[in-house]
Structure 1
Amino acid sequence: MASALVGTLALPDGAVVRGRGLGRPAPDGPAPTYGLYLGSNRLRRKHDDSLTWDHDWIRWPDFLLPLNWADARRKILALHARALAGESVEVACYGGVGRTGTVLACLATIAGLSPDNAITWVRENHHHRAVETAWQRRWVRWFASAQS
């Protein structure tokens, strides 16, 4: 599945998603049709007006975990469904590493990888420091076990 978005990542099941940092300049090329953004109310206030496409937010403090796990899980599953259907989608936090990498690892578990393999895969294909904290690694494992 190809995407018109610059900087996309093809998941093991063929779904395509772009992971990026809102604190960096937006990539060249077309805008996504949907985005899932991870951060505080402050980050949302700073960037929400510039996100002119369909999007959702997960309240997720930097270096920590989502404040509402069920809501986060539902939105990540919906992001995957959109990506698998061929929509141009992205996921982003401020830096594009920890929270974004955690969601990319969750997406990789939906695509069939074990949690540990998903984390390794994201570190090899997105950013070497993706899924930055021990609790983010545990959350990927929780996310994968909640799929059953």
Structure 2
Amino acid sequence: MTAPLTGAIRLPDGAWVRGRGLRDPLPDGPPPDFGLYLGTARLRRRHEPGLRWESAWLDWPDFRLPRDRDEAVRQVRALHERAAAGAAVEVACGGGVGRTGTVIACLAVLAGVDPSGAVAWAREHHHPRAVETPWQRRWVVREFAR
């Protein structure tokens, strides 16, 4: 099976997700069906007008955790459900590494990766520096190990 979006990675359960940085140009190919975007109001003001597909935003400062962690868990779970149902989905923050990598690690747990290995999985499949801070690493395990 081929990826529904340019640059998408396949999760262990077969679902596909693309992680990217909003500061980078939109990859060639079809647009996503849905995008989950992670950033502050400033990042949202800068990039939301260019999104031509359904999307949701989480207020998530760089190098931090989402301001509303319960909403973030709901949105990450919903993103996984969309991907598992075959939708072309992406997750993105400014640079596409820390916050995006954190969500990809969470998606990996939802797709069957042991929480203790989710950060390593995200670093192998998404970006070598995915999940940049200790609190992001702890959040993946605490929130998605249930």
Q: One fold, TM greater than 0.5?
A: yes
Whether 1:110 aligns to 2:110 is yes
User: Quick check: 1:58–1:66 contact (8 Å CA) kept in 2?
Assistant: yes
**Equivalent residue for 1:33?**
33
Partner of 1:11: 11
TM-score if structure 2 supplies the norm length?
Answer: 0.97
Write out per-residue CA displacement over residues 36-61 of structure 1, whole angstroms, 9 at most, x where no aligned residue: 00000000000001011000001000
* Alignment check: 8 A CA contact 1:38 1:93 kept: yes
Extract unaligned runs of 5+ from structure 1.
none
Q: 1:134 maps to what in 2?
A: 134
Query: Counterpart of 2:78?
Result: 78
Distance 1:116 1:123 in 2: 13
CA-CA distance at 1:2 after TM superposition = 3.8
Query: How many residue pairs get matched?
Result: 146
| Corresponding residue of 1:65 | 65
1:144 is displaced (CA, Å) by 1.6
Contact kept in structure 2, 1:21 and 1:93, CA below 8 Å: yes
AA of the residue aligned to 2:56: D
Q: What's the offset of the Cα at 1:3?
A: 3.3
For 1:122 and 1:42, the matched residues in 2 are separated by: 27
Tell me if structure 2 keeps the 8 A contact 1:2–1:16: no
Contact 1:20-1:95 at 8 Å conserved across structures: yes
* Residue identity opposite 2:57 in structure 1: W
Whole-angstrom distance in 2 between the partners of 1:92 and 1:143: 20
**What per-residue deviation string (whole Å, max 9, x for no partner) do you get for residues 100-140 of structure 1?**
00000000000111222111011011100000000000110
2:55 aligned partner: 55
2:50, 2:77 → 1: CA distance?
24
Q: Which runs of 4+ in 1 moved over 4 A?
A: none
3-state DSSP of counterpart to 1:37:
strand
Q: Provide the C-alpha distance between the structure 2 equivalents of 1:29 and 1:109, rounded to a whole number of angstroms.
A: 28
The one-letter code matched in structure 1 to 2:139 is W
Find the aligned partners of 2:97 and 2:19 in 1 and give their Cα distance.
8
- Distance in 1 separating the partners of 2:2 and 2:83: 10
Question: Within the alignment, does 1:95 sit opposite 2:95 as a pair?
Answer: yes
Identity of aligned residues (%): 59
